[in-house]
Structure formats: C-alpha cells, structure tokens
Amino acid sequence: MSNLKKILKNKKTCKSIWFMRQAGRYLPEFREIRKNNPDFIKLCMNSELSSEITLQPIKRFNLDSAIIFSDILIVPYALGQNLKFDKDLGPQLEKFNEKNFLNANVNDFIKKLDPVYKAINTTRKKLQKEKSLISFVGAPWTLLIYMLNLRNNKNRFNIEKLKQMKKIEEIIQKLIHYLCIHIKNQNNAGADVVQIFDSWAGLIPEENIKKYCFDPNKLLVNFCKKNEIPNICFPKGIGNKYLEFNILVKPDGLNLDSQIEPSWAKENLKNVVLQGGLDPSVLLKKENEMIEAATKYTECFKDTSYVFNLGHGLLPETDPDKVKKLINFYRNYE
Ligand code: CP3
C-alpha cells in the first residue's frame, strides 16, 4: 500500500511530501516537451507524454507521490465543450450548450478520456509501490466557473447568471455523475488517491456555500467512501468555513490554503488528515525565509498525520533548486 494511502486510511503518522503542480512549467524538462506540443489538451491526451511528465518530478526529487499530468477541464472537454489555453487569458471554453451537455453520452465520455486511464496505467507500473499515484477532478462549482464563463477577472464574477439558469440543479447533478465515473475509472486504472479541487470555492456568497460547495463535495466524497477510494478535498479560499466543510463533508484529507493559520487548523479541524498550506510564493524568497515559513508547518504538525504540500500550486517562476532545498529541509526535520 502506498505511503499516502496508509496515512489517509489509517491516520498513520509518517512523513509524506508532494506538491500541487509539481509536474509543470517551473521544470525545464516539462518546458522542453511543452515547446513541441503547443496544444495543451492534445498533450494531456497523449498517454505516453502525460506519463513521462508525471514522472519528471519523481525522477528529479524522489517525491512520495506522483499526480497524474492532466487537467480538471478535461471533464467538460469530454462532455463536448471544446477549449483552448491562451497564454495570457488562461483556459477559454467555447460557449456552453445546455442541450448538448444534458444529452451527453456516457460511452463517448469514457472513450474520450481513455488516454488518461492509459497514462495512469503506464505510470503505475513505473512507480515504486510505496509511492502514491494521485488522480484528481475539479468540484462542480469550480468547473462551472469555467464552463459558464462566470468569472470576469479574479474577484468579480456573475452568480446571477448561474441562479437564473432553470436547469442548474440538473446540470450540477449530471456533472457529479460524470465526475464519479471519472474518479472510479482513474482508480481502476491504478490511481490510489483522488484530490478534489474546489479552487474557486472562495467566490461563493455565504448564503450559497452549502448548495454549491459543501453538498457537491459531500456527494463526491460519499462516492469515494463507498468505493474505498482515499480522498482529499481542497475548498480553497473559504476561510473559517473550513470547519463546517470538514464536519459536513468528512473527507479523508483536507488541503489547507495559505490563508488558514496552521495552529487554528490543528485545533479545529478534527478527524481528518491535513495537507499543505505553505504559501507557494515563499519559494520565490530567500532560502532562510522559505525555511522559516516551512518550519511553521512542520513544527505545528509534527507528531500528527500531516502531508507536506502547499496552499496552491507551485508557481511557474519557481527555481527547481529551491524545491529541492525545501524537500531536503522537510526530510531532515525532526
Ligand atoms: O502537477 C500537477 O498538479 C498535475 C497537473 C495539473 C494541471 N492542472 C496541469 C496544468 C493539475 C492538478 C491541474 C488542476 C487545475 N487545472 C486546477 C485546480 C488547481 C488550481 O490550480 O487551482 C485548475 C483551476 C485548472 C485549470 C487550469 N489549467 C488553468 C486555470 C490553467 C492556466 C493557468 C495555470 O494555472 O497554469 C491550466 C493550465 C495547466 N494545467 C498547466 C498545467 C501544467 C499549464 C500549461 C502550460 O501553459 O504549459
């Protein structure tokens, strides 16, 4: 059994470290592949390259877990909504077609995602068995932000547009149905843990948070539990509502964002394995500042089942040598 799975299942206290976006633009070996593969979705759908990219940070840093190189937007793509990645604007999805979405065909969906499952299968065979292979999905709210183009810029978005949609409930339920299929198929292919990203949960108005964040995450976590798939939730940006999230959703693991005080988390978030929290921008600072910031987490969570990670993904401008130094610090910390 992989180290991460043991921690999540048995609340075992052993060391484990991986990083969100560990396979990405900060690595020269990734940029080398990316240079020759300008279409990001095509790259995600290339099983061989996707597996190679997944293993790049493992080879370089010997991290405890690999996360499959893919994207949360692969799900709307497989449901018929084409997209492209713009260098400046980020992901651009074509206009949402409600009828097409509600009539999507399960077999087409699975067939389209087959390269992801192949990549997981190939990668699992190449990984040592004590290393975890993490799969992931986006939570419905975060996917809808992109699918319905609800966000104008980082802090302004149009929830009225969503509330006015007559079939929003049906759309969310359908999305959950497909996400469960994708979770199960990734698990069958050899992924032993799933992380559920709700990156934009912090944009939900307080009165709607149960409906758009807690309830959908809970349905996904319940599905994982029924299928014995260890799971980690990441409801980024919800502040002290992490408490209510944890009590209602009851995931196996909970990734902290950088706004959450580690001591508050330790005190308040019970019966769950905590992960991450360290601000990824500290890796851009001087080494002693980075170590000081990291010590806050290692010290607070020593003797508990904590998985070392960040409060969001590694930034593209991160120096890989800094990543190496952070890993060495964590491994040598007593
Ligand atoms: O290493 C890993 O973590 C695995 C791969 C991974 C990617 N995306 C690859 C990727 C994971 C786990 C994701 C999740 C993802 N994708 C999220 C949730 C986590 C988060 O960051 O909040 C979201 C919101 C997306 C959607 C997405 N994909 C955006 C907004 C962007 C563009 C901006 C950005 O953050 O890079 C992407 C592109 C993307 N996904 C890249 C990578 C390596 C960069 C592609 C490139 O330009 O080379």
Atom of ligand 1 nearest to the CA of 22: 1
The per-residue pLDDT for range 210-226, each reduced to its tens digit, is: 999 999 999 999 999 99
Q: Atom 34, ligand 1: which residue's CA is nearest?
A: 90
Q: Say whether pLDDT at 326 is over 70.
A: yes
The confidence score (pLDDT) of residue 275 equals: 98
The confidence score (pLDDT) of residue 155 equals: 56
Q: Is the dihedral of CA 240, 243, 249, 254 positive or negative?
A: positive
Q: How confident is the model at residue 183 (pLDDT cuts 50, 70, 90)?
A: very high
69 lines ligand 1 (CB under 6 A): yes
The answer to whether the beta carbons of residues 11 and 253 sit under 8 Å apart is no
- CA atoms of 233 and 142, how far apart (whole Å): 13
280 lines ligand 1 (CB under 6 A): no
The per-residue pLDDT for range 222-278, each reduced to its tens digit, is: 999 999 999 999 999 999 999 999 999 999 999 999 999 999 999 999 999 999 999
61 lines ligand 1 (CB under 6 A): no
Structure token digits, residue 203: 């944009």
- CA atoms of 172 and 75, how far apart (whole Å): 13
329 lines ligand 1 (CB under 6 A): no
Residues 6 or more apart whose CB falls under 8 angstroms from that of 183 comprise 135, 137, 194, 220, 223, 224, 227, 229
Which amino acid does the sequence have at 277? G
The per-residue pLDDT for range 34-48, each reduced to its tens digit, is: 999 999 999 999 999
Atom of ligand 1 nearest to the CA of 31: 48
Between the CA of 303 and the centroid of ligand 1 the distance, in Å, is: 32
Residue ranges and CATH numbers for the domains of the chain are 3-332 (3.20.20.210)
Between the CA of 104 and the centroid of ligand 1 the distance, in Å, is: 25
Of 254, 259, 318, residue with least CA distance to 22: 318
22 lines ligand 1 (CB under 6 A): yes
* Residue written as token pair 């693991």: 253
- Distances, alpha carbon 44 to alpha carbons 38, 149, 152, 178, 325, in Å: 11, 22, 26, 19, 29
Q: Say whether pLDDT at 292 is over 70.
A: yes
151 lines ligand 1 (CB under 6 A): no
Atom of ligand 1 nearest to the CA of 34: 48
Helices then strands (H, E): number in the chain? 17, 11
The answer to whether the beta carbons of residues 139 and 216 sit under 8 Å apart is yes
Between the CA of 219 and the centroid of ligand 1 the distance, in Å, is: 24
199 lines ligand 1 (CB under 6 A): yes
The confidence score (pLDDT) of residue 166 equals: 87
H/E stretch holding 65: strand 65-67
Residues of the chain above pLDDT 70, percent: 99
The per-residue pLDDT for range 1-21, each reduced to its tens digit, is: 898 999 999 877 789 999 999
- CA atoms of 53 and 241, how far apart (whole Å): 35
197 lines ligand 1 (CB under 6 A): yes
Q: Atom 27, ligand 1: which residue's CA is nearest?
A: 91
- Distances, alpha carbon 102 to alpha carbons 81, 98, 139, 140, 161, in Å: 12, 6, 18, 15, 18
316 lines ligand 1 (CB under 6 A): no
- CA atoms of 236 and 203, how far apart (whole Å): 9
The per-residue pLDDT for range 125-180, each reduced to its tens digit, is: 999 999 999 999 999 999 999 999 887 665 567 788 888 888 999 999 999 999 99
Atom of ligand 1 nearest to the CA of 57: 1
Which amino acid does the sequence have at 225? K
24 lines ligand 1 (CB under 6 A): yes
- CA atoms of 284 and 319, how far apart (whole Å): 8
- CA atoms of 280 and 290, how far apart (whole Å): 10
CB atoms within 10 A of CB 156: 9
Q: Say whether pLDDT at 88 is over 90.
A: no
CB atoms within 10 A of CB 111: 11
- CA atoms of 253 and 7, how far apart (whole Å): 9
The confidence score (pLDDT) of residue 157 equals: 73
Q: Say whether pLDDT at 89 is over 90.
A: no
Question: In 3-state terms, what secondary structure has residue 304?
Answer: coil
Question: In 3-state terms, what secondary structure has residue 279?
Answer: coil
Structure token digits, residue 258: 């950088």
Q: How many CA atoms lie within 13 A of 319 on its CB side?
A: 11
Residues of the chain above pLDDT 90, percent: 89
